[in-house]
Structure formats: structure tokens, C-alpha cells
Amino acid sequence: MIIAANFKTNHTRLSTIEYLEKLDNFLIKYSIKDEVFVFPPFTALDIYNISDKINIGVQNAYPAYKGSFTGEIGLLQLEEFKIKNIIIGHSERRHIFKESNEFIVEKFKFFKDHDFRIIYCVGEPKSQREKGFSAVMEYIYSQLENIDLNYDKLIVAYEPVWAIGTGLSAKKEDIKEVMDALREDIKAPLLYGGSVKPDNAKDILSVKNCDGLLIGTASWDVDSFCEIINISKMLAEEK
Ligand code: 13P
């Protein structure tokens, strides 16, 4: 399984270091086999003194090596910290920062050309969900247009907009329906994100075709994130 923590605009440089040390000790102590990702804010990026059990990535970046892009971070800045993982197309980038699908596709192509592991996010808003399953899939496929689904470093995260940060996760059956449909066209790992917590992680991780979780709120506390990783470990042992 892949278990990823998206810090969004949370944690400082100091608290990120403390978090990563605690997480790293946990992963080593319990011989965790899951692939674990952490996406801290830019200001907390560093060459951390941790094992290679944690993959560090960025939540966003500008599709250029360097240049005049005020307020943005390019490849040059990521190279300094040996970053090779990125989240692209997160719903907060799409909706709050009005990133168009064209721009998101441009980012995807740029970071694919630079060999990044890409967590590419898709997911429908509430209005689309209310129209039913075909409308949901139509929306998701429009977000996948011009994305190379055969890219070997692609991970797709299904994050319904209405489930993000609301405490209201999608139902197991709804997640399964979307994952099953995506699996027909996508070989890449499929993650679910949206109000994942220790309480519902087991149910969601048991969904067929769900290969992991992209977690916001419940990942910001290291104990809660470790609890979810532990649930994944126990599930694997049950199999
Ligand atoms: P929450 O877990 O806070 O709902 O956020 C999900 C998310 O957006 C992860 O990228």
C-alpha cells in the first residue's frame, strides 16, 4: 500500500523535523513495508536526517527549471533538496487557485519529463456527484484528458471534492465503484483521499483496487498518521 501525508499549509520547519524523526523511528521499529510519502510545506524542505523509508515530496511546483515566476518554486529549488515526488492537480489548486486543466497538464508533462513520481489528483464536486455515477466518471475522465496514464511513475488519487476536509468520507461502495471503473484504464496505483481517519482507514483500505491513501487532516498529527499505517500493516498481515 501507499500511505501519503499531505501537510497542506500546516507544520513549520521545526515541527516537520520532529514529525519525520518520530515517523521514521516508527517505520523502522515496526518494519513497515508500505510506501510512505510526506508532503511538507516548501519552507520546511531540507535534507533530513531520516532513512529512505520516507519519500519526501512537494504539494505543488511551477513547471520551469528557473525564471521570473514570482512566488513560485521551480525545478532548480527542488533539486537542491533532491525532491523527486510531486502532487499535481489537487482540488485545492484547481478550485482555490483556479488552476486550469491545461496548466495542470503542462505541469504533468514537465515533471514527467523530469522523471518525478507524480500523485495526480482527480475528483468531482458535490454538484456532479448529485447527478449520479456516469456524471462522476465523465468529470473524472475530463480531468484525465491528455495525461499519460501509462507513465510508469504515475499514481492516481481519487479525492472527491466534497469529502476533502469535511470529515465526511465517501462511502465504501462509492469508492469501490470509482476505483473499479478507473482500474479498467489505469494500471497505476489508485489512492483514495478525503476525510480518511483511523476510524475509517480499514474499511477504505479493504476496497478492491484501492492501493492506498492520500491523507490531509488526520496525517498532521504523527500519532494519528502512524495509527493509519499500522492499520494498513495489520490488514496486510490478515491476508
Ligand atoms: P483531508 O484528509 O483533510 O480530507 O484532506 C484530503 C486531501 O486533500 C489530501 O490531499
C-alpha 96 – ligand 1 centre gap (Å): 14
> What Å distances lie between residue 13 and 64, 184, 212, CA to CA?
25, 41, 27
Q: What is the pLDDT of residue 9?
A: 98
From the list 23, 100, 93, the residue with the least C-alpha distance to 58 is 93
Overall average pLDDT of the 208-215 stretch: 97
Residue whose CB lies within 8 A of the most ligand 1 atoms, among 39, 162, 214, for a mutation test: 214
Domain boundaries, the chain: 2-238
- Cβ(165) – ligand 1 distance below 6 Å: yes
Residues forming the active site: 90, 159
pLDDT by residue (tens digit) across 132-179? 999 999 999 999 999 999 999 999 999 999 999 999 889 999 999 999
- Cβ(99) – ligand 1 distance below 6 Å: no
Q: What is the pLDDT of residue 239?
A: 79
Burial per residue of 24-33, b for 16 or more beta-carbon CB atoms within 10 angstroms, e otherwise: bebbeeeebe
Pairwise CA distance, residues 137 & 174, whole Å: 11
What does CATH list as the number for 2-238? 3.20.20.70
> What Å distances lie between residue 30 and 89, 116, 151, 164, CA to CA?
33, 28, 32, 30
Please tell me whether residue 231 adopts helix, strand or coil conformation: helix
Please tell me whether residue 179 adopts helix, strand or coil conformation: helix
Percent of the chain scoring above 70 in pLDDT: 100
Q: How many other CB atoms are there within 10 angstroms of residue 224's CB atom?
A: 16
- Cβ(104) – ligand 1 distance below 6 Å: no
Cell numbers 514537465 label which residue? 110
C-alpha 215 – ligand 1 centre gap (Å): 5
